[in-house]
Every structure is written in C-alpha cells, then in structure tokens.
Amino acid sequence: MIIQPEWGTRNVNEYFYKSEARRIAALNEVFGDVELTAAEIRTLVWLAGCEECTVVNLLSAVRKAMAVETKRLEQQHRP
C-alpha cells in the first residue's frame, strides 16, 4: 500500500497535499494489495505529485496490461 508522507515533512502547500492524497488513493486501487519495495513506493508517491491526467493515463495502461495478462494466462491453462 502506498502511504502518503505526513503533512509538514515536505515543502508542499495544502492544495498539493490534498491533490496528491486523491491520486495516491487512485494508485492504491491498483497497487494497494501489492507488496512494494521502498523504492517503488517512493516512485509512486513521486508520480502522485504529477498532473491528474498523468496518473489516470498510467493507471489505464496498467489496467489494460493486467487484463491482457489475465487473458493470456487463462488461455494457457485451457485444455
């Protein structure tokens, strides 16, 4: 799970912090149950600081890749 750094630990304003929190929540919809390394979490927190559309587009691509992989695995296991 991606955990947002505590308020006041970085030089960001309140608007940025609240926007970042929303984007971290969106990232956690995909990555919340995945065991991530500290480096991966730092990268995803960094990504959450980007524009909303950047996070939305990345999540869309990840979901598409997950769907294709799931379909591929299902086809491999068919008799």
Cβ count within 10 A of residue 27: 21
> Is 8 a residue whose pLDDT tops 90?
no
Tokens 């984007």: give the residue. 23
**pLDDT tens-place string over residues 11-43:** 899 999 999 999 999 999 999 999 999 999 999
- Residue 39 is encoded by which pair of tokens? 């480096």
> Is 65 a residue whose pLDDT tops 80?
yes
Q: How confident is the model at residue 79 (pLDDT cuts 50, 70, 90)?
A: confident
Residue 34: its pLDDT value, please?
95
**pLDDT tens-place string over residues 38-60:** 999 999 999 999 999 999 999 99
